[in-house]
Structure 1
Amino acid sequence: MSRRCSLTEKGVQTGHKVSHSNVKTKRKFLPNLHNVTLISDVLGRSVRLRVSAAGLRTVEHNGGLDAWLIKASNHELTAPALRLKREIEKKMTTAH
């Protein structure tokens, strides 16, 4: 399992640990990932994803998983999120 957010693609970043004497050594900054179960109102089921804390706040701010996925552009979504978005769009078009 990769250290990458399923929704926002936030991943591992690299940088330096800087000592008091200004010696720089390589280090990794890991994203704050959590396994969460998000509920899709349109699909009527829950979806398990590995999401960063910032991504989870963004989803909640935009009114839930369905609203966030519909707003997001396709090129900035991961493969599982894009699959979910297509399912939601398909269900919404057949419902109307």
Structure 2
Amino acid sequence: MSRVCELTGKGPMVGNNVSHANNKTKRRFLPNLNDVTLISDTLGRSFKLRVSTSALRTVDHRGGLDAFLARAKDAELSEKALKIKKDIVKAQATA
């Protein structure tokens, strides 16, 4: 399973461990991912997603999954999140 957030596209970063003697060795900074269940108010369904904690805070700040996906760029979203976004837009258009 890849270590990438499904809502923001945040993935591993590369950096150095620096010792007291200033020796540098490569390391990876992994995103803090959690498996969460988010509820869409428009669709009335819940969705299981693998989301970073910073994205989860942003979802709460923007007022839920529907509001987050409305403002999110399609390039950052996973295929699963894109499908949810398209379903929400279609449901809002018919309602």
Q: What TM-score comes out, normalization by structure 2 length? A: 0.96
Q: Tell me the residue number matched to 1:85.
A: 85
Q: Tell me the residue number matched to 1:70.
A: 70
Q: Tell me the residue number matched to 1:25.
A: 25
Distance 2:72 2:6 in 1: 13
Distance 1:76 1:14 in 2: 20
Q: Any stretches of 5+ residues in structure 1 without a counterpart?
A: none
Distance 2:74 2:24 in 1: 38
Q: Percent identity?
A: 60
Matched, 1:55 2:58: no
Cα drift, residue 76 of structure 1: 2.7
Amino acid in the other structure paired with 2:23: V
Which segments of structure 1 move beyond 6 Å, counting only runs of 4 or more?
none
Q: Number of aligned pairs?
A: 95
What is the alpha-carbon root mean square deviation over aligned residues? 0.8
Matched, 1:14 2:14: yes
Q: Tell me the residue number matched to 1:36.
A: 36
Q: Any stretches of 5+ residues in structure 2 without a counterpart?
A: none
